[in-house]
Structure 1
Amino acid sequence: MAAEVGQRGGLPRSVFAKLTPTLRARLAYGSGAMVDESLFLNELRPQLGPAFEAPWGYFASYDLRTCRSIQMMEDLVATRDASFGTPETQISRAQAEEVITTLATLHGTFNRDPRLDTRYTTLRTVGQWYRSAEPFRLDKYHGLAMNKAAHVIPPHLHRRRAETWPAFMRSVARHAELPQTLLHSDVHLGNWYMTGDGHMGLGDWGCVMKGNWARDVAYALSGTLTVENRRAWERDLISLYIEAVRLAGGDDLSFDNAWLLYRQQLFQGLLMWTPTLCHSPLLPDMQPEHVALEMIKRTATAIDDLDALDAV
């Protein structure tokens, strides 16, 4: 949306508008997501400051009766010459480090923040977020997707595929036992953007929730990096996160505990993509099949590499 009116008053020349125009879009987005993304844009984004690489929100509202919503935010292509990631996007080591420090800033800023429970009461926990999706039978469609994607899943993990759903549910339950912060929670490559000068930023806050930091970090490293780069860099990147989140106000984590949590939360990334590949007819197609298969390959390979089934 572009407009000339108001330029002299400091209004942006263009904005990006996110809408829910169809029934399937409203079912997929849901009342919780529209409430929480509006909360992020209206109240939480400003607390992260101008140095945090994420879009500014201009207006966000919703109607709980109809589940219609609109979020008007910064047009990143116009303001930052941004381009968004695809499975073909190669993330450099420096960009991978920016992914980690961006998440550390987010998590450290809201680490153990009592307002997550007392003021921002609409924010769902990881467990509540998945319970809200129960009508869409994620368990059923996860199983179908594990079979459909067999050719990209390591054989050892595929033989144990019946264990992946229970392991995922245990990884969800861990969040109730762990320190809470604000999570982006959908940190796949398509939600990261590269600015014109090569920096990494985080867009699309439609799945924002509260939970433990390890969900975001596990999903980001297993999904944004190629298998080879993730294997080569992940230990160093976890060490970088430990230092960066401490400096941003987070807990002082030990490497061994952080590494265990990272392994346990790898199922969170996989379960964002198996119900994308195979999903309820109530939901729209959210990503091309080749994208879903690549993300399943990456997250499943990380689970297999790090023996995550036996860690949770």
Structure 2
Amino acid sequence: MSDVLERRIPARPQIAVPATLEQALDPQWLAGALAQTAAGRGIAQVEQVELIRTVATKVRFAVTFADGERQGFCLKGLLDVDAMTARGGPTCVLESDFYNRIAPVIDLRVPACVATVIDREGQQAVTIMRDLIADGARFCSALDPFTADDALESLTQLARLHARSDLLEGADWIRPRAAELAKMSYVTPEALQDLLDGPRGDNLSPRVRSAANLAVAIKALAARDGARPQFLIHGDAHAGNIFRTAEGMGVIDWQLLQRGGWALDVAYHLNAVLPTDVAEAEERRLLGEYLAMMRGHGMTMPGEEDAWAQYREGVTYGYYLWAITRRVDPPVIVQFVDRLGKAVMRHDSFGLLA
């Protein structure tokens, strides 16, 4: 492994995973977590810069070391959560493992991770990264739509990820997430119907707004997808998980990293980031561009019509993810469910999966 790649491997201090924000920003705990970065310097001050709470907490903070140098960081983990939310800890472990095992050996623009703290027995973890915003990056939003050219640039990043599917060999810790979703253990059919009956489903047809139909479709998709070649995919490639730098776009949030068909990522991504009219006009061209990128990376890909069919089916995955989402700002949920649900309608995804 080259020196460049070695420098990207995060430190893995053997210390306790913090359960609260207070613990995470405690100078004594941070002295252990950032020992490799500190290089023997003490921590003189810790300043909280921004706090974002969804399911996981993201806290941007600045550390002033004893010699006066100030550095910005972002810590992500389950902090100050109830017992039910804490059950999502394995996704935080998965994200930390991505930065430990995948990010150092892949040509992908991701945040520089300086340390991961993992409790494998308790299935909890926090990841500490450089503060991208302090370094000039800008995060995208569901309410900040992409152009077709933007989508082509972000597809370039996804193609680089998918092209390293050789990393799935022996990596049993990267699971087939679509198959797990199909078990409907995340939300009951009744609760899902209640969600779809709310504002998120207002512009969708009764067929697509039906929780029963969605349950059948996601199970059929999982079965078909599992029988196809498996790729290393992001699993949650919406606009809010894309950032922009002077060098280009990058990808964050690896809590749903998984093995699955390429179409799950591509169909979800394009129909989440693009306004519906732009997606309808541009998606087939963009799919062709993606397939060409993958072939350029040496990957064997399906022909145009087979790929188009997989894409049309794959939209169901993203639609299901956002249909069950609760702990995100309502306008964002409504926007994503509307875009992805209309894509399911446009492509007759449920009919293809019947």
Name the structure 2 match of 1:19: 77
- Whole-angstrom distance in 1 between the partners of 2:83 and 2:67: 33
Give the unaligned 5+ runs of structure 2.
1-60
Name the structure 1 match of 2:152: 97
Bigger mean CA offset, 167-176 vs 20-29: 20-29
Residue 78, structure 1, aligned to residue 119, structure 2: no
The aligned amino acid for 2:75 is A
Percent identical: 25
Residue 240, structure 1, aligned to residue 295, structure 2: no
Name the structure 2 match of 1:42: 100
- Could you say what secondary structure the match of 1:3 adopts? strand
Q: CA deviation at 1:246?
A: 1.3
- Whole-angstrom distance in 1 between the partners of 2:87 and 2:279: 30
CA change 1:175–1:31 in 2 (3 A) is farther
Name the structure 1 match of 2:339: 298
- Could you say what secondary structure the match of 1:265 adopts? helix
Among 175, 180, 192, the alignment partner of 1:124 is: 175
Q: What TM-score results when the alignment is normalised by the length of structure 1?
A: 0.85
CA change 1:105–1:180 in 2 (3 A) is same
- Whole-angstrom distance in 2 between the partners of 1:55 and 1:6: 25
- Whole-angstrom distance in 1 between the partners of 2:66 and 2:100: 21
Give the 5 Å matches for 1:102-251: 102-110=157-165, 113=166, 115-118=167-170, 120-127=171-178, 129-130=180-181, 134=185, 136-149=186-199, 152-155=202-205, 157-158=207-208, 162-196=212-246, 199-251=248-300
The aligned amino acid for 2:352 is A
Bigger mean CA offset, 205-214 vs 84-93: 84-93
Name the structure 1 match of 2:30: none
The aligned amino acid for 1:122 is W
8 A contact 2:233–2:259 mirrored in 1: yes
CA change 1:273–1:159 in 2 (3 A) is closer
- Could you say what secondary structure the match of 1:59 adopts? strand
Bigger mean CA offset, 57-66 vs 183-192: 57-66
Q: CA deviation at 1:60?
A: 1.4
- Whole-angstrom distance in 1 between the partners of 2:92 and 2:279: 33
| CA RMSD after TM alignment | 2.6
Residue 88, structure 1, aligned to residue 140, structure 2: no
Q: CA deviation at 1:196?
A: 4.3
- Whole-angstrom distance in 2 between the partners of 1:138 and 1:56: 38
What is the aligned length? 293
8 A contact 1:217–1:262 mirrored in 2: yes
8 A contact 1:193–1:202 mirrored in 2: yes
The structure richer in strand per residue is 2
1:176-221 superposed Cα distances (whole Å, 9 cap, x missing partner): 1011111110111111112246x32211111111111111101101
- Larger RCO (CA under 8 A, 6+ residues apart): 1
- Whole-angstrom distance in 1 between the partners of 2:152 and 2:103: 21
8 A contact 2:78–2:86 mirrored in 1: no
- Could you say what secondary structure the match of 1:163 adopts? helix
CA change 1:107–1:7 in 2 (3 A) is farther
Give the unaligned 5+ runs of structure 1.
278-285
Q: CA deviation at 1:175?
A: 2.3
The structure richer in helix per residue is 1
- Whole-angstrom distance in 2 between the partners of 1:216 and 1:299: 13
CA change 1:107–1:203 in 2 (3 A) is same
- Whole-angstrom distance in 1 between the partners of 2:299 and 2:62: 40
Q: CA deviation at 1:151?
A: 5.2
1:280-300 superposed Cα distances (whole Å, 9 cap, x missing partner): xxxxxx211111111110001
1:134-183 superposed Cα distances (whole Å, 9 cap, x missing partner): 1x325333222221147533336447653222011111222210111111
8 A contact 2:313–2:349 mirrored in 1: yes
